[in-house]
Amino acid sequence: MTIQVRGVSKSFGAQPVLREVHLSVPEGELVALLGPSGCGKTTLLRILAGLEVPDSGEVSHGGRALLDRGARERNVGLVFQHYALFRHMTVGENVAFPLRVRKRPRAEVEARVRELVGLVQLEGLAGRYPHQLSGGQRQRVALARALATRPEVLLLDEPFGALDARVRQELRRWLRRLHDELHVTSVFVTHDQEEAFEVADRVVLMNAGRVEQEGTPAQVFEEPASPFVMRFLGAVNVFRGHVDGGRAWVGDLEFSAPALAERSPAHVFVRPHDLELSSAPLPGSFPARVERVTVLGASVRVELRAPGYGERLEAELDLPRSHALALRPGDGIHVSPRRVRVFPGHDLEPDSLTASAL
Amino acid sequence: MKAAELVEAGPPAPPPPALALAPGARARFRRAEEDPPWARRTLIGAALLFLAVFLLLPAAAVLGEAFRGGLWAWAQAVTEPEARAAIRLTLLVAAIAVPLNTAFGLAAAWSVTRFRYPGKSLLLALIDLPFGVSPVIAGMSVVLLFGARGLLGPWLQAHGLKVVFAVPGIVLATVFVTFPYVARELIPFMQAQGTEEEEAALVMGASGWQILRRVTLPNVRWSLLYGIILCNARAMGEFGAVSVVSGHIRGLTDTIPLHVEILYSEYAFRAAFAVASLLFLLALLTLAAKRALRWSQRRERRPGGEA
């Protein structure tokens, strides 16, 4: 019962939101749609739910076409960012709603509600109204309600986006455990890379209406397929250079880029924790000046200026290393990139990130 | 992204240091947005004076005049056959116009807040039209359309239907004048609420009717009732539009406001004011109902013990 999305496009007026999206969600897996706001991930989720109709393309579930069926007939569970609980109904009535509109027998409804309220650990709160619950509790009610009809697919639209950081953390882990128990095929929309990596089996990175990359969290982080993925999955330093014959150059620094034989301009990406700092020059290092040192807890972020290489670079090192170097603003230092990724191209393609923060 | 989270998870900022003031010195400090006492007193006084002169005084005069002959005379004036006919007609007109405009208001608010379509802003402007147009024009438009020489007049006559100078005309004029009230009350409320709950219900398998009855109506019920109350008050009190189409046939096409005017022009002052006091009573009831609604709305919103 795999969900298949083939060539789905959608525009709102003249604004294209999804362009030829292909995607598959294997049965029983939890897949995260990850991307900056405006990348089309929520629209894709709403198409799966039946709340939007694509302009073109196919969606099927277990081989059956999904688009001919309206939202009512799809038997999906949908969880909204702002819960969308019925505010004039108690927790129990909310959870019972999907069963009642399907005219299930009363005894069955009551038993199922009891079971679900237990599942989301809200025993004793069934008589409360939504406004009497905390955000985390409300979202668990929404989840219980979405699961009430034993949906074939569970869709979650930024489910933890409205919660504060600690509750979000807890609920993420809880959702992951719940999924391991229920194994319902789930699609999860988020703009938070940490959240996607922690909860999902597979991550689908979206940008400007397209799927940029699809894979396990480790795959997309270790082998980013595009500059966008590289930039979206955490902070990264960008150096301008060029490639020729399987080598990449930034100034006089040389890196191996075996897949790139043709001569062209290129960008070399290095994560902050892959920039090694040393007080003496090393082979393949360049000089820089320390601008600012920020302690982030277990690690330290160092902002650097290296004329000719980068006006604003960022390195991250652990606390002992930082103590050993005793860095202060104004100090001279030597920087050697340890792991780089090289992408050819003259300019970075405009993407959703350019529009939002970063 | 990481930095933002760290900021969020960090300890809350310490409260701003309290101003160290000597006891007694505090009273001399005012908040910046607070007006000086003399300005406050002047403004409140002016508002109260205005209310007294333009609202309370006339109301007291009407009531005083209505009951000058005692309760018995008042009861007689209110229950004489023509007055009773006027009351019946007013109730009948309201009983038709208010449900019609409730249904229309719900449909209009639903379509405006739930769908995107061309001409939506035009519809919104049209809903407001009766607020901007003199009621006399509303009455005249009914005459122009349905009168003997009107657009539909000959057809109506051929079928033996009478609209102008009869109850249907009064109902039409009243519906025209009162139709914005429910829609205007619902639209901003439904816009603020958004469509998520209805979408959730749809995905859960609810039909359109189930969504309306079990999700939308319970959510908007206070706004809806509020609109209905205002619509009813206007429907019962409307004078201008109804006056044009009614023909003032005593005992047949007189509503309460028209009856008051007839009595007044016949120098039957006491009877006129007695019947007028009924409309005043309606105003008081409307006010009380509004307050009661506000109260129950607030009570419902108040969290009953935070979890």
The string of pLDDT tens digits covering residues A203-238 is: 999 999 999 999 999 999 989 999 899 989 888 998
Evaluate if residue B167 carries a pLDDT over 70: yes
Give per-residue pLDDT as tens, A65-88.
888 888 888 889 999 988 999 988
> How confident is the model at residue B101, as a pLDDT?
92
The complex scores an ipTM of 0.83
How far does CA A21 lie from the centroid of its chain? 17
Is residue B1 within 8 A of residue A192, CB to CB? The reply is yes
Chain B environment of A165 (Cβ under 8 Å): 5, 8-9
Q: Minimum mean pLDDT among A152-156, A192-196, B106-110, B299-303: which range? A: B299-303
CA distance B3 to chain A (A): 8
The pLDDT value given to residue B302: 54
Q: What is the pLDDT of residue B7?
A: 39
Contacts of B222 in chain A (CB under 8 A): none
Chain B residue with the nearest C-alpha to that of A98: B204
Element (H, E) at A286: strand A286-295
Q: In this model, does residue A185 exceed pLDDT 90?
A: yes
Indicate the residue of A71, A131, A134 with minimum beta-carbon distance to B202.
Answer: A71
The minimum CA-CA distance between A88 and chain B, rounded to whole Å, is 7
Q: Is A5 left (phi over 0), alpha (psi -120 to 50) or beta?
A: beta
- Evaluated on CA atoms A6, A12, A15, A17, the torsion sign reads negative
Residue A259's pLDDT band, with cuts at 50, 70 and 90, is confident
Q: Report whether A37 contacts A358 (CB < 8 A).
A: no
Does B304 score more than 60 pLDDT?
no
Interchain CB distance below 8 Å, A296 and B6: yes
B6 pLDDT band, cuts 50/70/90, is very low
Asked if the model's pLDDT at residue B295 lies above 90, the reply is no
Dist. CA A34–CA B239, nearest whole Å:
62
Over range B285-297, report the average pLDDT. Answer: 82
Give the Cα-Cα-Cα angle A74, A80, A84 (nearest 5 degrees). 100
- The continuous run of DSSP H or E covering A134 comes out as none
Q: How confident is the model at residue B301 (pLDDT cuts 50, 70, 90)?
A: low
Q: Give the relative orientation of helices B57-66 and B269-301 as an angle to the nearest 10 degrees.
A: 130
Percent of chain B having pLDDT more than 70? 87
Banded model confidence at residue A337, pLDDT cuts 50, 70, 90: very high
Average pLDDT estimate for A186-215: 93
Chain B residues within 8 A of A71 when measuring between CB atoms: 199, 202-203
Greater confidence (B31 vs A45) lies with A45
Higher per-residue pLDDT: B213 or B19: B213
CB contact under 8 A, B203 and A71: yes
Residues of B in contact with A101 (CB under 8 A): 201, 204-207, 210, 214
Per-residue pLDDT at B14 exceeds 70? no
Secondary structure (3-state) at A57: strand
Binning pLDDT at 50, 70 and 90, where does residue A176 land? very high
Contact B206 A51 (CB under 8 A): no
**Long-range interactions of B191-196: CB distance < 8 A, separation 24+:** B191/B113, B193/B219, B193/B220, B195/B113, B195/B114, B196/A80, B196/A82, B196/A84
Q: Which of A342-351, B85-94, B157-166, B247-256: highest mean pLDDT?
A: B85-94
Contacts of A171 (CB under 8 A, 6+ apart): A136, A139, A140, A159, A160, A163
Q: Which of A88, A133, A234 sits opposite B307 (nearest CB)?
A: A133
Whole-model pTM: value is: 0.77
Strand pairing class (A202-207; A185-190)? unpaired
Q: What gap in Å lies between CA A325 and CA A295, rounded to an integer? A: 14
pLDDT of A351 above 60: no
Res A172 pLDDT > 70: yes
Q: Would you state the pLDDT for residue B28?
A: 58
Query: How high does pLDDT run on average in chain A?
Result: 89
Rank A296-310, B13-27, B59-73 by mean pLDDT and report only the highest: A296-310
Position B69 scores a pLDDT of 78
Q: How far is A151 from chain B (nearest CA, A)?
A: 9
pLDDT, tens only, A12-71: 888 899 999 999 999 999 999 999 988 999 999 999 999 999 999 999 998 888 888 888
User: Which pLDDT score, from 0 to 100, does residue A8 have?
Assistant: 94
DSSP tag of A66: S
The reported pLDDT for the residue numbered A45 is 94
Of B209, B222, B186, B224, which Cα lies nearest the Cα of A87?
B222
Structure tokens at A124: 């004793």
* CB under 8 A, 24+ apart: contacts of A317-323: A317/A273, A317/A277, A319/A295, A321/A277, A322/A293, A322/A295
What integer pLDDT is reported at residue B300 of this predicted model? 66
CB contact under 8 A, A88 and B218: yes
Tell me what pLDDT residue A347 has: 67
Residue pair A130/A87 in contact by the 8 Å Cβ criterion: yes
Residue numbers in A near B303 (CB within 8 A): 131-132
User: pLDDT tens digits, residue range B242-282?
Assistant: 888 888 787 788 888 888 888 888 888 888 888 888 888 88
User: How close is the nearest chain A Cα to the Cα of B202, in Å?
Assistant: 6
pLDDT mean across residues, chain B: 82
**Which tokens is B34 given?**
């607070």
pLDDT category, B48, cuts 50, 70, 90?
very high
Residue A158 token pair:
């930024």
Closest CA to B198 of B290, B138, B304, B115: B115
User: Cα–Cα–Cα angle for B17, B21, B24, nearest 5°?
Assistant: 145
pLDDT for B76 equals 84
Q: What pairing do the DSSP bridges indicate for beta strands A332-337 and A286-295?
A: antiparallel
Structure tokens belonging to residue B174: 């009243």
**Res B192 pLDDT > 70:** yes
Nearest-CA distance from B76 to chain A in Å?
Answer: 48
Strands of A264-270's sheet in order across? A253-256, A247-250, A237-244, A264-270, A341-344
